[in-house]
């Protein structure tokens, strides 16, 4: 581990080596992590070590599921979606989002003065949105 907090790493190793007796292993792990996190400032490597040790001790399996690219809906799926949207205002909002690739937060902060209706263009969008 890192030299910044060698005593913390030793404490973590002591914890990992302990046997379970009264509380469930998961409860003890969570309580210990809460206490140590509040007491110390861990760096990324230390946090990775802690979580790996907890997963091993508690037999928590991580899904090896591979991330796949986002798939856009087909034309038929979009038509089926719009067919069940009853409110015309909601349908307009979804079509606007689809046609402009805006995020919902960008749509919510969009001002009417930023839309050029003659050219059918959005003039500008602020970049500092959450």
How many other C-beta atoms can be found within 10 angstroms of the C-beta atom of residue 83? 9
pLDDT tens digit string along 38-52?
777 777 788 788 778
- Which residue is listed with tokens 């110390």? 40
Distance separating alpha carbons of residues 5 and 3, to the nearest angstrom: 6
Give strand ranges (E) for the chain. 115-116, 121-122
pTM above 0.85, yes or no: no
Distance separating alpha carbons of residues 127 and 130, to the nearest angstrom: 9
pLDDT tens digit string along 7-23?
555 555 555 555 545 56
Q: What is the pLDDT of residue 122?
A: 80
């Amino acid at each position: 581990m890192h030299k910044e907090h060698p005593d913390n790493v030793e404490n973590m190793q002591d914890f990992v080596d302990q046997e379970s007796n009264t509380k469930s292993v998961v409860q003890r792990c969570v309580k210990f992590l809460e206490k140590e996190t509040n007491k110390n400032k861990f760096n990324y490597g230390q946090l990775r070590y802690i979580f790996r040790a907890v997963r091993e001790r508690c037999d928590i399996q991580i899904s090896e599921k591979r991330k796949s690219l986002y798939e856009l809906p087909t034309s038929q799926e979009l038509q089926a979606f719009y067919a069940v949207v009853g409110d015309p205002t909601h349908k307009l909002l979804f079509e606007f989002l689809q046609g402009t690739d805006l995020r919902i937060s960008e749509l919510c902060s969009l001002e009417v003065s930023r839309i050029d209706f003659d050219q059918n263009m959005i003039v500008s969008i602020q970049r500092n949105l959450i």
